[in-house]
Structure 1
Amino acid sequence: MENDAATFRFSLAGIPRPQRRDMVREVAGRAIANLDLTPKTDDPQMEVETRFLPGLTVTDAWVSPHVAFSYDLSRGDDDFTLLWSSSPARGGVLQFGSELPADGSAALLSCADRMDFETHEAFPHVSVKLQRSLLCPLLPDAEAALMRRIPADNPAMQLLKSYLASYRVLHEAGPAAQLAHRAAIHMADLVALAVGTDRDATELASGRGLRAARLDAIKRWTLAHLISPELGIKSVADAAGLSARSVQLLFETEGVTFTAFVLRERLALAHRRLSMPHLAKRTISEIAYGCGFGDLSYFTNSFRKAYGETPSDARHRALARHH
């Protein structure tokens, strides 16, 4: 079991097999998840990772077949959890007489009311738990939306999953309070959009979460094609299904242009490559062209402005540290 200010991890991997059933029931189930959890196998397996953000927690879990139900409702709260299976499994969750099968679809659950779980095979799943104060301004009729199935291909759900994937990477690089606060707001927006909101709330959520998720997807596509000399705002817009102007406006919400973003990332890539000893035999021009630059003079001038030294100086200084 690992715990820090931003992340909690629990695993049965290091627990002796004879102790695992009791560990699942008493620690993972009753103490941590507030569930009466009974494994359906003699060798239960469990991997859990929870990330804590302001007003919101994201949990990625993998659990071997089990039966579970809410353990002590007096310990609960009146918050909400959006739950879905990250890959299909036989089983699901039951609340208010409605079932959410583990088929990739999602539903909003009430943390204040009993939940029943049963899976007949390993159950990989994701849950986003939101405080009422974070979700209800966006979803005033949250109770009416409980256990309403959200298809896996729901556009807002797809954006939420994509945004979560990016946040996990950034979080591992070093959690930052400002990032966590913004990410929590954007995730709440996307949850509200997926579940369904009234018109005013939809406009608010679309103005933040949807825009942030689209920009995140565009940035990831851009970075994946960063070294291509054909990269341009038109190719990015075509890939995103948006107009070039819409893409530009998305970047401007962060105070940067698309061109400036590409230049910054290409320069950073070149800087990293100039610092790598195994690339020491490559010429400056080879590295510049390999990072997507088409003009060596432009690369050199831009590099000097960004880092206060020439590419050659940066290389010599970096390589000197390795000797």
Structure 2
Amino acid sequence: MPQQGMPRHGNEPTMSEQQAPATFRFSTADWPARDRLAIWRESIGRTVIQLDTEPLSDGAFHAEATVLALPGLWLGSWALANLRAAVTRELLDGSDDLVLGIALSGAPIITHRRREATGDTGDAILMSTAEPRVSVYPSLVRFLSLRLPRKALTPFVPNPEDALMRPVPRDIEALRLLTFYADELNRMDRMAAGELQHVVVTHLYDLAALVIGATRDGAAVAENRGLRTARRAAVKADINSHLGDPALTLTAVAARQRLSPRSVQRLFAEQDTSFSEYVLGARLAQAYRLLTDPRWRDRNISSIAFEVGFGDLSYFNRAVRRRYGATPSEIRAMPER
């Protein structure tokens, strides 16, 4: 997996110095076919992401990435196919960061520290930016990469070298939640500024430490902070993706998230709400969006109610009026803003 999470250009701030979020994107599909290899090798490979790259065969190759730079962390979403990518000694940048790669689909073959590992879908592998590495992508591989400063993890993981090139299986909760949390951030169009960025980065440090192997004291801190936040975010995302299901229940959500119903209830109680209150609020918010969306003008009120999971039209009308001080019909009749 590529070493760099973000391009470096001469006097660009180091990862610890960078404060403002920045996003870097590219795709070989956007370049003319006849120039694709030259652009990839020179303009992107060696110059931007500092990799010595070449296709594995004469067939088509593909490379794309979206990389988000946060204070103290670079987060990348990659898709590579028919490529060999090498971090040679000449391309090392003198840093001693850690890179955690998480395969989303496909299986890269990675050689690092005289060891070879295959990152099966869902698994994670830890590497060091201080040493050379070779990654091979025979077919399309999609993966996330997190570049983390070593000093940010040593309070939780005193000897991260022990975890280098030791695949972490996908069924570990911290890895599942780290994958979810990081993937959600990469999908965001904009990243909030200021203190929230540092909170997000801290949560990613917590989850990464648990994946790599935190000490008992470190794990206690990380579980009560980053892990708990990621659990709550995953539960809410699960609910939001099933709003239209009348069978959306606490038991069903808990089962999908591999938690007990009581654990899910506690996550909401910590925010002075409940599972049922959150579901109702999310359904009403979605109903409001549909009622005010011109593309839904031809749908009647009852179909919108059923679309967001209300099985009783009278209850839907009452709930909307209590929340917004207007009936669904009145909301629909409001002038567009």
Corresponding position: 1:97 with 2:114: yes
* Equivalence for 2:150: 132
Contact kept in structure 1, 2:21 and 2:70, CA below 8 Å: no
Query: Whole-Å Cα distance in 2 between the matches of residues 100 and 136 of structure 1?
Result: 24
* Equivalence for 2:278: 261
Check 1:274–1:124 CA distance in 2 against 1; reply closer, same or farther (3 A cut). Answer: closer
Corresponding position: 1:243 with 2:260: yes
Query: Whole-Å Cα distance in 1 between the matches of residues 242 and 64 of structure 2?
Result: 34
Of residues 173, 184, 200, the one that matches 2:217 is 200
Corresponding position: 1:15 with 2:36: no
Corresponding position: 1:79 with 2:79: no
Q: Runs of at least 4 residues of structure 1 off by over 6 A?
A: none
Of residues 300, 310, 313, the one that matches 2:327 is 310
Q: Decide which moves more: 273-282 or 187-196.
A: 273-282
The one-letter code sitting in structure 1 at the alignment partner of 2:172 is N
Q: Secondary structure at the match of 1:13?
A: helix
Corresponding position: 1:185 with 2:197: no
* Equivalence for 2:14: none
Check 1:255–1:33 CA distance in 2 against 1; reply closer, same or farther (3 A cut). Answer: farther
Corresponding position: 1:38 with 2:69: no
Q: Deviations 1:230-261 (Å, cap 9, x if unpaired)?
A: 43434433443433332121123344322221
Check 1:300–1:133 CA distance in 2 against 1; reply closer, same or farther (3 A cut). Answer: farther
Query: Whole-Å Cα distance in 2 between the matches of residues 234 and 13 of structure 1?
Result: 44
1:152-231 equivalences in 2 (<5 Å): 152-169=170-187, 171-172=188-189, 174-177=190-193, 179-231=196-248
Q: Deviations 1:92-147 (Å, cap 9, x if unpaired)?
A: 22221112224333221111122223344444332111122332222222122222
- Which blocks of at least 5 consecutive residues in structure 1 are unaligned? none
Residues paired across the two proteins, number: 315
Corresponding position: 1:110 with 2:128: yes
Check 1:9–1:233 CA distance in 2 against 1; reply closer, same or farther (3 A cut). Answer: same
Check 1:305–1:55 CA distance in 2 against 1; reply closer, same or farther (3 A cut). Answer: farther
Query: Whole-Å Cα distance in 1 between the matches of residues 116 and 173 of structure 2?
Result: 22
* Equivalence for 1:70: 88
The one-letter code sitting in structure 2 at the alignment partner of 1:167 is L
Matched-pair identity in %? 37
- Which blocks of at least 5 consecutive residues in structure 2 are unaligned? 1-6, 8-19
Query: Whole-Å Cα distance in 1 between the matches of residues 36 and 259 of structure 2?
Result: 51
Query: Whole-Å Cα distance in 2 between the matches of residues 45 and 231 of structure 1?
Result: 40
The one-letter code sitting in structure 2 at the alignment partner of 1:11 is S
Check 1:22–1:234 CA distance in 2 against 1; reply closer, same or farther (3 A cut). Answer: closer
* Equivalence for 2:78: 61
Q: CA RMSD in A?
A: 2.9
Of residues 243, 262, 287, the one that matches 1:270 is 287
Q: Secondary structure at the match of 1:75?
A: coil
Check 1:143–1:274 CA distance in 2 against 1; reply closer, same or farther (3 A cut). Answer: same
Query: Whole-Å Cα distance in 1 between the matches of residues 229 and 257 of structure 2?
Result: 14
Query: Whole-Å Cα distance in 2 between the matches of residues 31 and 113 of structure 1?
Result: 19
* Equivalence for 2:45: 29
Larger helix proportion of the pair: 1
Structure with more relative contact order (C-alpha pairs < 8 Å, separation 6 or more): 2
Contact kept in structure 2, 1:20 and 1:44, CA below 8 Å: no
The one-letter code sitting in structure 2 at the alignment partner of 1:53 is L
The one-letter code sitting in structure 2 at the alignment partner of 1:146 is L
TM-score of the superposed pair, with normalisation by structure 2: 0.81
Contact kept in structure 1, 2:119 and 2:167, CA below 8 Å: no
Q: Decide which moves more: 133-142 or 227-236.
A: 227-236
Q: Secondary structure at the match of 1:76?
A: coil
* Equivalence for 1:143: 161
Check 1:74–1:154 CA distance in 2 against 1; reply closer, same or farther (3 A cut). Answer: same
